[in-house]
Amino acid sequence: MTINWDLVWSSLGPILTGAVTGTIPLALASFVFGLLLALLIALMRLSRNPVFSTVARMYISVIRGTPLLVQLFVIFYGLPSIGVTISPWPSAIIAFSLNVGGYAAEVIRAAILSVPKGQWEAGHTIGMSRRQSLVRIILPQAARVSVPPLSNTFISLVKDTSLASLILVTELFRQAQQVAAFSQEFMLLYLEAAVIYWIICLVLAGGQSALEKRLDRYVAH
Amino acid sequence: MSPTESALPDDAALLSVRGLRKAFGSHEVLKSVDVNVRRGEVVALIGPSGSGKTTVLRCLNGLEIPDDGVVDFAGQLAVDFSAPVTKKQLAALRDRSAMVFQHYNLFPHKTVLENIIEGPVQVQKRPKAEAIAEARELLARVGLSAKEKSYPFELSGGQQQRVGIVRALALRPQLLLFDEPTSALDPELVGDVLTVIKELADEGWTMVVVTHELAFARQVADEVIFMDGGVVVERGHPDTVLRDPREERTRQFVDRLLNPF
């Protein structure tokens, strides 16, 4: 097999455009919304109020128990039949955010529980409310613990955004697909897409290491 | 570093606890406990583990909510636990005292200085510059000026506990609560912490100390309370309770601590 380098170079433009204007903003926006949702779900799950904790538990169960592709299709292709039509980009962001919300909620819940009870008590004794203790004492410590598993979530998400190609979002993989269909060079284009996903994830893993290092400054080595 | 000024005369009752009860499930940890503390007094709570002494302390700081009883701060604030209490009452009660924990419970993600000013600045809304100045003064008093930028993990246990004490002092409470403050320390570090507590006692701070250090209790406490099985078995002057107790149970406990084998 000879490599058609001309095609590699000429396809790089559309594929990188797909990454920069599709994959990366889609992943970033979904991760931010997803984390906010996850924090809310985690706190509901930890709440002593049985209604909150039950709702949170069911949410997590549904998200983890159904395929992401099905969630995406329900929102984009399913909802219009009950009169709710959402265009591709918002559909993708909603689906990915809801998905991250379910998975990351369990990470955040575990991270909050990993902070010793004595930290809540120390917050109490210096006069803090539970909310103040949570924000200023518990969450900063939970954040350190949750960086590795949340990095996993984020890296998975970057690759999962390729599913958005199936609801017509122009992102990295859809661009590769289109060049492949036109040139009939499937192996080349899909490997090229794979390499670019890999490079994005290498950069993210580097970011994870830097963040871990920074957050580890207050623990013994 | 002197106790909060108050219009009360020196020997006035600061704290009066009456009929304190607490159960965890079906296990009665406190069965009607009374404690009185006068202003400037040091009360040592001693007793075997499971006797309820730590629970008494935690009830005073609102870390546990008693099932029954009255906690009365000099007639200014009386919380009656026979009826449900509000968050506001609990917060008011908590703000009278500050706790020093057995395992220090410093905030690991904050420096020594940040640990100390967190309460004064974030909760009491005192000016940051003033809180920092006071924190530095307090750190100097316990010999830790050089450590203000350190994180807790960089300190020895004895240093961490002295920071724990300073963090409590910075809140300017009326009452200091010590929960076995030296039990987690290596033996050679115990003295430093006890010295600091003794100095605070000498300066007139009012405190309740749960401790196993009988020599310390004898030297520093004005009153020793021996608890066992959720009740006060004996109370009185340290020389009496620790050297010539009236109750057999007290005698056995003290003997065991003084002659462990």
A136 close contact with B: CB closer than 8 A: yes
Q: How confident is the model at residue A217 (pLDDT cuts 50, 70, 90)?
A: confident
Give how far A119 is from chain B: nearest CA, Å: 6
Distance from CA of A217 to the nearest CA of B (A): 8
- pLDDT over 70, % of chain B: 96
The pLDDT confidence band at residue A106, using thresholds 50, 70 and 90, is very high
Count of residues in chain A: 221
Which pair of structure tokens corresponds to residue B119? 């309460």
Give me the amino acid identity at A197.
Y
- Are B183 and B102 contacting, i.e. CB atoms less than 8 angstroms apart? yes
Nearest-Cα distance to chain A for B225, in Å, is 24
Q: What is the pTM of this model?
A: 0.89
- Average pLDDT of span B110-117: 97
Indicate if the pLDDT at residue B20 is higher than 90.
yes
User: Which tokens sit at B40?
Assistant: 């400037």
| Chain B hits for A124, Cβ within 8 Å | 61-63, 94
Q: What value does the mean pLDDT take over residues B192-221?
A: 94
The candidate with the shortest Cα–Cα distance to B95, out of B61, B142, B131, B143, is B61
| Contact: B171, A127; criterion CB under 8 Å | yes
Q: Mutate which of A114, A119, A125, A214 to test chain B, going by most B C-beta atoms within 10 A?
A: A125
CA dist A70 and A77 (Å) reads: 10
- From residue A80, alpha-carbon distances to A73, A165, B175 in Å are 11, 19, 65
Across the interface, which of A127, A217, A220 has its CB nearest the CB of B95?
A: A127
What is the interface pTM, i.e. ipTM, of the complex?
A: 0.92
Tokens of A47: 């709440």
Q: Is the minimum CB–CB distance between A117 and chain B shorter than 8 Å? A: no
- A144 pLDDT band, cuts 50/70/90, is very high
What 3-state DSSP class applies to B153? helix
Radius of gyration of chain B (CA): 18
Report which of A32, A12, A24 is spatially closest to residue A161, judged by C-alpha positions: A24
Average pLDDT over residues A189-215: 95
Q: What pLDDT sits at residue B74?
A: 83
Confidence (pLDDT) at B77: 86
| DSSP output for A157-174 | HHHHGGGGGGGT---HHH
The band of A221, judged by pLDDT with boundaries at 50, 70 and 90, is: low
Specify the pLDDT at position B10: 55
- The partner residue sitting opposite A119, judged by closest CB among B63, B91, B105, is B105
Amino acid type, B126 = R
Residue in B98, B151, B167 nearest the CB of A218: B151
A64-105 confidence digits (pLDDT tens): 999 999 999 999 999 999 999 999 999 999 999 999 999 999
Spatial CA neighbour of A29 closest among A77, A100, A85, A78: A100
pLDDT band at B261 (very low <50, low <70, confident <90, very high): confident
On chain B, the residues whose CB falls within 8 A of the CB of A140 are 109
- Is residue B14 predicted with pLDDT exceeding 80? yes
Angstroms from A102 CA to nearest CA on chain B: 28
pLDDT tens, position by position, A110-141: 999 999 999 999 999 999 999 999 999 999 99
CA-nearest residue of chain A to B170?
A126
Question: If you average pLDDT over every residue of chain A, what do you get?
Answer: 95
Summarize the confidence of residues B118-136 as an average pLDDT: 97
Distance CA B233, CA A106 (A): 48
> Does A30 have pLDDT greater than 80?
yes
